[in-house]
Chain A
Amino acid sequence: MTHLTGKNRLFGVFATCFGSIFLVSGCTTEPPKPDTVTIAMLAEPPDLNATKATDSESFFILGHVMEGLTRAGSDGKPSPAVAESWEITDAGATFTLRSNAQWSDGKPVTAHDFVYAWRTVVDPKNASEYAFILFPIKNAEKIVSKKAPVDSLGVLALDARTLKVTFEKPCGYFLSLTSFATYFPVREDFHQLHGERYGAEANTLLYNGPFRLTQWVHGASLKLEKNPTYWNASIVKLNAIQIPYITPDLSAQLNLYKDGKIDLVSLGKNTLKTAMQERFKMKKYSDGTVFYLEFNFAEGRITRNKNLRKSIQYVLDGEEFVGRVISIPGTLVGTSVIPTWIAGKNGLFREDYPIQSVKPNLALAKHHLAEAMKELGLKTPPTLVWLTGDSPGASKEAEYFQNLLSSKLGITLKIDKQIFKQRLAKMSAGEFDVVSAGWGPDYNDPMTFADLKTSWNENNRGRWKNAQYDELIRKAQSTTKNTVRMDSMAAAEKILLEELPILPLYERSVIYTQSDWLANVGRRAVGFDPDLTTATTRDETAKN
C-alpha cells in the first residue's frame, strides 16, 4: 500500500474502525470523553420552575433532572417512575409512591410534594400558563378563576407514600398526563426558601430525576451530571450532558457538528445537502406537530363561506407543497388535525378510523370559488389577509400560497407577517382571514388535538363554533370508556373535515444526525425531546 493522502487516510482509519466494532474494541484513535454527550440548544430555558414552564427547552432540561409519577417511554406509554403502582377509576386515582425515590439532598419524595406542587400550579397567584393541564382534577378550573380556595383541589396525601386524586369528571388519559412537567413534584420547604428565585439557577432547584443540573451560565451554557441519588440510577449510562452552545441557527449548529464540537444536531431543509456531502448518517423522527391553515369565522369575514374554503382545499396540491416547499424527508401530507402517529383504541387512531385524502382538482376548486362568489355577491375573486410568523419557513409558505391562489384562482393574498407575539395578539383578536398555525401534543391521547376547535378552547382562534362537534368532544371527555371516547372523537373529526374550519397542511418530521458512537437517544413526539436518559456511548470508535 502506498501512502494515503490526508483525507483518504482518515477515511481508511475510519473504515477499519467501523469494521472492527463488532469484533474487538481495538483501534482507539483519540477516544471521545467517555460517557459524556455534548449538544447545543436552540434557546435557553427561561427558568426551570416546573409549575410554570411552557416551552420545549425547559421541558427538555426538566425531563432529565426531574421525574413525575410516571415517565413516558419513547412510544409515549407511561411507565412507573416515582409512583410504583396506581389504580385509576372514573372517580379518581390512587398512586403508591416508591420508597427509594429521593431528592438530590437525600430526603424522600413524598405524596405531599405532589400535593404542594399541584396546588402551586393552580394557585391564581402563581398565574401558571399550563394550569389547564390540571383541569381534569377536581376544582382545578374553579381555583384558577378564583371561585374556590386553593386547598379544595382534588388531591390528597393519604400518607407519605399514597397520593389520592379526585377527578372533576372521568378522565381516560389522566395517566399520560402524570409524566408531564407541570405534574412534577416540588418540595415545599425548598420552594418557600427560594421564592421567586426557585428554578432560576442551578442551585435553586432540587432534583429527583436521572440527572442534576450542576452548572448554568445564563445565555451561555448548561451542564447536567448523573444524579447519584436517583432511584433507578443504574439505567443511566451517561455521566454528563454538556450544553456549551445556545443558538437557534441550525447552520451554526451544523458548523459546530462538523467541527466535532457537538454530538447531535437537527438538520433543517437548508443543511440537508451539506449533511449528504459530509456523509453524515441521517435519521428521522416525527416531533408530533401538525400544521394547518385556520380560517376566521368572526362576523363579516368571507372565510365563513364554506365554498371559499373548499376551493382553497381543492387548489392545494399537498404532495407538491410537502415535496417542494417543506422538503423535509418524512413529512406527511396533512389529512386531519389528528396526526397519524397517535394511538387509538388498540393500534393507531388513524388505522382505526381511516380517512380519504383529498386530491387536488382545479376544476372543482374553480367551481367552488364561483359558488362562493355568487353567495358572497362578489364580481371578482376576493382578497384574503394571510397572517403568518417571521420564521423563514413561514414566509416561504405564505409566498407559495400567494402565488398559488393568485395564479390558479385569482384570489389575492395580503401577507401579514408579524413577530411571534404580535402574531399571537392578532390571532387572539381575530385580525386575519387565514392564519397558518401548528399544534404539538401535550399528552399522548388524540384529545390533545381533537378538542382544539371546541367553542370553549382559547386556542380556537378562528372562533368556529359547531354544537354537534362540541357535544361529541364533551362526550369523549366525560368517560373513561376507550371505545366511546375514540368513536366520538372520530365522529367529531369527520365534522371538522367536512366543515373545514381548518385545512390540514402537513405533519412535521425532523431529520437529525449524531456522532457514530452515540446510541439509544430517544426521539419522540410527546414529552421532552431528545431523551438522553438511557443514551449510551461506545468509546471504541473515534469521533468523526
Chain B
Amino acid sequence: MFKYALKQIAAGIVTVFFIATATFTAMHAVPGDPLSKGKAIAPEVRKNLEAKYGLDQPVTKQYTMFLTNMVKGDFGISFTQANRSVNDIIREHFPISAILGLFAIAVAAAGGILWGSLTALYRNKWPDKLIMLAVIFGVSVPSFVVAALMQLGVTALNKHFGLQLFAVAGWGGLTHAVLPAVALGLSTMSFLTRLMRSSMLEVVNADYIRTAKAKGVSSTGIFFSHQLRNAILPVITVLGPAIAAITTGGFVVESVFAIPGLGRYFVQAVQQLDYTVIMGLTVFYGAYLVAMVILVDIVYGLIDPRIKVGKASG
C-alpha cells in the first residue's frame, strides 16, 4: 500500500512538471503583451518593467527560473496587481473555490446517493421515472443556464415575499453558497444518480442479498447494511473526476454569481494576460487535481477489500 502510494505520488510529480512545461510553452506562444495598459507606456518605463518581471531574459532562462521558483513554491508577482504575489492570490481565493466546490460535491453526492437509491427502490414506478427525467434535464442543461435561471427566480422570490432567503450574488455566509453550489453540483448529481441507480440494481440481485433475506434480515437492514454499502463503491471511484469537473466548472458559476473564487480570478487573469497568475494558477490547479485523483485512488483501496492496490500488478 505504502509503496503504491509512493509510486503514485512520484508519477504525480512528473505530471505536474509536464503541466508546468505545457503551460509555460502555451503562455509564451501567446501573442500580445502583458505589460500594455489602456494608456500607452513610454519605452523607458517599459524597459524598467520588463527588467522587473525578467521578461528581458532569454526564454530558456525564463523557463528554468520559472521551474526553480515553482519548486520553491513561489509563482512570482502578478502583472496586473503588482503588489500581490500569486501565492497570496491562491491563499486568498482558493479557499472560497474550495468551500464552494466542497458544498457542490456534498450536494451532488448526497443528492446522487439519495435519488439513485430511491430510483432503484421504486424501479419502473413513477418516482423512478420522475427522478430519471429530472436527471436527464440535469445533464442536458448547461450550468450557466441553470445559474441564470436560479438567479432570476430567487430575485423574484425575495422580492415577492420580502425575504432574504438566498443571496443573489456575492460571497459571505451560508445563504450565499446555496445557489451556486446547486448550480455547480447539478450535473454531477445527475451523473451520480444514474451511477447509483445502476449499481444498486446490480446489487439487488446479488447472492448475499438473497442470503440475508433468507436469514430474515429486515428490508431496511438489508438496504442500509448491504445494498447501500456495496452500491456506493463505484460512486467513490468517480469522485476524483467529479471533483475535477466541479473545480473547473466553478469558472462560469463564480462569474455569474460574482463569487471571488479562484476560477473567476483565472478568467480575469486570462483576459488581462497576466502571465504569472495564469501560469501559477494552471500549475496549482493541475497539481490539485492530480493530488485529488491520487487521494481518491488510495481511499478507494482502503475501503474496498476486493482491491488490494499494493499487491496489484500495476
Contacts and interface: CB of A to CB of B under 8 A. Distances in A.
Is A in direct contact with B (CB under 8 Å) within the complex? yes
A49 B83 contact: yes
Nearest to B275: A421
A398 to B, nearest CB: 18
Nearest to B170: A245
Contacts of A146: 44
Nearest to B271: A419
Interface stretch (A197-205, A294-302, A503-511): A197-205
Given A125-B48, A245-B170, A458 B41 contact: yes
A199 B83 CA distance: 8
B272 A421 contact: yes
A390 B31 contact: no
A422 B31 contact: yes
Contacts of B158: 259
Contacts of A258: 155, 159
A459 B40 contact: yes
Contacts of B215: none
Interface in B153-170: 155, 158-160, 164, 167-170
A419 B167 CA distance: 31
A219 interface: yes
B32 interface: yes
A244 B172 contact: yes
A258 B84 CA distance: 34
A415 interface: no
Nearest to A204: B83
Interface residues of A, number: 54
B273 interface: yes
Given A125-B48, A132-B42, A425-B33, A200 B83 contact: yes
B260 A219 contact: yes
B226 interface: no
Nearest to B52: A127
Contact of A46 (B32, B48, B80, B168): B80
Contact of A259 (B44, B84, B168, B268): B168
Contacts of A52: 82
Q: Which of A127, A197, A247 has the most CB of B within 10 A?
A: A127
Interface in B1-50: 30-34, 36-42, 44-45, 48-49
Contacts of A46: 78, 80-84
Nearest to A424: B36
3 residue pairs, one from A and one from B, having the closest CB atoms:
A458-B40, A247-B258, A219-B260
Interface of A: 6, 43, 46-47, 49, 52, 54-55, 124-132, 144-146, 196-200, 217-220, 244-247, 249, 252, 255-256, 258-259, 261, 390, 418-422, 424-426, 428, 457-459, 461
5 contacts: A129-B45, A145-B44, A390-B271, A419-B32, A424-B36
